Structure 1
Amino acid sequence: MVGKHQSEWTAEDKKKEDLDNVAKDILYKTLDKNMFNKIKTCSTAKEIWENLTQLCEGIDQTKENKLTVAIQKFDNFKMKHGKTLSEFDECFSCIIIELILLGKEFSNREFALKVVRALPKEWDVKTVAMREPKDLNKLASWPFR
């Protein structure tokens, strides 16, 4: 359709234009005013999508920075004093999901080791028992796989 006047469009060109308009309409309806202002000059749904992807996910350097921060969160994660096991699990799950969404992969064994290491001193008796190779392999059936 590029370079064609509207009067020269074929039925296929018109169909593509209609689909593009539907896609743009869907995208416009899902955006808040701030995001809409950032993409309102885009002429096609594809262009809108590419701009939104860059705005939301960031360029490769931004993605790399997000991954670095998420890995640091994972490495430094510890169960805080006074927190319940449910709260610990919820925080840990959020970090794991963030890492997975950023493309970082860990084995179930790595997840299990991290959990054991992140527990406080009061859990030492239990973690020693869990560190036995046979028990750690049982723990490695983490639900994020």
Structure 2
Amino acid sequence: MASNNFSLSIPTFKGDHYNSWAIKMKSYLKVMNLWELIESDVELTLLPQNPTAAQIKKRDEEAAKEAKTLSCIHSAVSDGIFTSIMTCESPKEAWSTLKEEFEGNAKTKLMQVLNLKREFEMQRMKGNETIKEYVSKLMSIVNQIRLFGEIFANERVVDKILVSVPEKYESKISSLEDSKDLSKITLVELVNALSAVDQRRLMREEENGGKIEGLLLAKSHYKKMG
């Protein structure tokens, strides 16, 4: 059961990024000790003709747990999505309906992965971006690809960065080539190394900004004296 020390907010699905929502929702249901009803599609115990009080209690508990699980799924989707599962009688049926409609079949998933890979290859770093912002954008696409079960190694991200960053990073990359085997450099190492270029640029901009501000103040002072 969920701990009393923290509260969980139920993830809401509005029709986009189904795979991300499904992972969050699965974790939520596991914490609430409800996932087994979806994973194994547990059926309610059939009562005999003359059930005992214990059998009736067990059946009532199972029914309450199933109703709670279905209610959780209902609460986790927007009103527009709810219409797709409103007639489902079990949490397993509701989950399967959402999966079939929004995850798609193998052909649909393949097309989505191909589109994401194409989007990844088309990315270029913008002039006003830092290396960390650019890598964050790349990893957002990569993680979407991984959600479809595709293996996408960080080495591919490293290669992408090395061939797509602007000229201002070339001297740093050249120095890395002299000191390291770039085929073995990790994504974290590369980002940290290239971030130094952004930090130096920021420091220069702050220094130049301070000098300009000082000159303007001095000029204003002389005008007042004149």
Could you tell me the TM-score, scaled by structure 1's length? Answer: 0.77
2:137 aligns to what? 91
Please list, as runs of the form range in 1=range in 2, the aligned pairs for 1:124-135 lying within 5 A after superposition. 124-131=170-177, 134-135=180-181
Q: Does 1:37 align with 2:80?
A: no
Task: Determine the C-alpha separation between the residues in 2 that align with 1:86 and 1:75.
Answer: 18
Structure 1 runs of 4+ with >6 Å offset: none
**Aligned residues of 2:157 and 2:187 also touching (Cα < 8 A):** no
Indicate the RMSD between aligned Cα atoms, in angstroms. 2.9
**Aligned residues of 2:142 and 2:152 also touching (Cα < 8 A):** no
Query: Which secondary structure state, in structure 2, belongs to the residue aligned with residue 34 of structure 1?
Result: helix
Long gaps (5+) in structure 1: none
Match for residue 100 of structure 1 among 124, 135, 146: 146
Query: Which stretch has the larger CA shift, 95-104 or 61-70?
Result: 95-104
Task: Determine the C-alpha separation between the residues in 2 that align with 1:104 and 1:38.
Answer: 28
Number of residue-to-residue matches in the alignment:
141
Q: Does 1:73 align with 2:119?
A: yes
What are the superposed Cα offsets for residues 42-71 of structure 1, whole Å, 9 maximum, x if unpaired?
A: 111100001112233222222111100111
Long gaps (5+) in structure 2: 1-42, 190-226
Q: What is the aligned-residue identity percentage? A: 21
**Aligned residues of 1:63 and 1:102 also touching (Cα < 8 A):** yes
2:95 aligns to what? 49
What are the superposed Cα offsets for residues 83-104 of structure 1, whole Å, 9 maximum, x if unpaired?
A: 2223212211212211221222
1:112 aligns to what? 158
